[in-house]
Amino acid sequence: MAFFVEVLITGLMVGIMYSLIALGFALIFKASDVFNMAQGAMSLFAGLALVGFIEQYLHLPLWLALLCTVGVMAIWAYLVVFVVLKPLVNRPPLMLFMATFGVMYLMEGIGQSIYGTQAKGLNIGIPDTSFEVGGIFMSTFDLFFAGVAAVLVAALIWFFQKTRNGRALRAVSDDHEAALSVGIPLLKAWYLTWVIAGVVATVAGVAWGSRLGVQFSLSYIAFKALPVLIIGGIDSIPGAIIAGLIVGAGENLGEVFIGPYVGGGIQTFFPYLLALIVLYFKPYGLFGKEIIERV
């Protein structure tokens, strides 16, 4: 039982990392109906920028490097919204979706030009050591980022529920035309959403970059977050968190307890299999908003 709980906790910690990527998808889609395929590249770019500020170029202290990285992501959000997306307002959603593909490859290309193509280590001073609690081994690194994720989610909930800008973003997500009619500027709401998604991408980039190294395969972690998004509901922020925990725990338990009997590889397909099962019974995800259109 102790081993089962240990595997479960390890899976939940990985699930939190998936949730951070899925959260960025959900935020942007909820506010702008744009499915942002550049979310993984945003996490990669944030990780590269942080490495550049700490080690490669400026050698700044960590707190200042993090602030500068968030500033870079805010500038990038401005460029995406006002240069790429603004001309496509009121165009078919497919055009906006394809535009984010272009943003993804552009970010990867700029990252290669500035920082090179070699994998880079990212050390933020959090030791990846284990300690024992009741016969269960837990990672200091995983617990730290679980706490960071919890604080981030709590801050987002407070922002969307208690602040004027947060309520404006909720209004935009419910009905774009109604929000415009009461004086809420759509592009400003989009920009704010992309900035928030950039902050989330920064946290995800630091977490994954510290664990795996900052390398260009990091941008493809977004594809592991897609099943999380589908399971939780593409427009649900709590769904992204809960589904990430479900996927992380499920794939880890499956790999450890079922993998040896089927030759392994459970982690590769389990999230997508679970997403297909959820879609069969809940087409909008576990927490997604059902859309009923009159035809």
pLDDT tens for each residue of 177-192: 777 777 778 788 888 8
- Positive/negative CA dihedral, 146, 208, 202, 85: negative
> Encoding tokens for residue 275?
């997403």
Task: Give the pLDDT confidence of 26-35 residue by residue, as tens digits.
Answer: 888 877 778 8
The interaxial angle of helices 2-32 and 237-257, nearest 10 deg, is: 150
CATH of domain 2-281: 1.10.3470
Residue with tokens 């968030």: 70
Q: For residue 139, give the 3-state DSSP assignment.
A: strand
**Residue 159 predicted with pLDDT over 80:** yes
pLDDT of residue 67: 92
Task: Give the pLDDT confidence of 2-28 residue by residue, as tens digits.
Answer: 778 888 888 888 888 888 888 888 888
Identify any residues that bridge with 131 across adjacent strands, giving them in sequence order: 138
Q: What's the half-sphere exposure (Cβ side, CA atoms, 13 Å) at 204?
A: 33
Task: Give the pLDDT confidence of 74-103 residue by residue, as tens digits.
Answer: 999 999 989 988 888 778 878 888 999 899
For residue 252, give Cα distances in angstroms to 12, 41, 58, 176.
9, 25, 39, 40
Task: Give the pLDDT confidence of 240-287 residue by residue, as tens digits.
Answer: 888 988 998 888 888 888 888 877 778 888 888 899 999 989 888 888
pLDDT of residue 8: 85
Percentage above 90 pLDDT, the chain: 8
Reading phi first (left if > 0) and then psi (alpha if -120 to 50, else beta), residue 90 is in left
For residue 73, name the pLDDT band (cuts at 50, 70, 90): very high
Identify any residues that bridge with 120 across adjacent strands, giving them in sequence order: 214
For residue 291, name the pLDDT band (cuts at 50, 70, 90): low
CA 25, CA 30: separation in Å to the nearest integer? 8
pLDDT of residue 293: 60
For residue 111, name the pLDDT band (cuts at 50, 70, 90): confident
Closest CA relative to residue 39, chosen from 274, 228, 267, 231: 228
For residue 131, give Cα distances in angstroms to 27, 146, 210, 251.
35, 16, 19, 23
For residue 70, name the pLDDT band (cuts at 50, 70, 90): very high
Task: Give the pLDDT confidence of 192-245 residue by residue, as tens digits.
Answer: 889 988 898 888 888 888 887 888 877 777 788 888 988 988 878 888 888 988
Q: Is 144 exposed, middle or buried (0-12, 13-18, 19+ CB in 10 A)?
A: middle
| Cβ 126 vs Cβ 141: under 8 Å | yes
Task: Give the pLDDT confidence of 132-147 residue by residue, as tens digits.
Answer: 777 777 778 888 888 8
Bigger pLDDT: 112 vs 174: 112
> Encoding tokens for residue 31?
């506010």
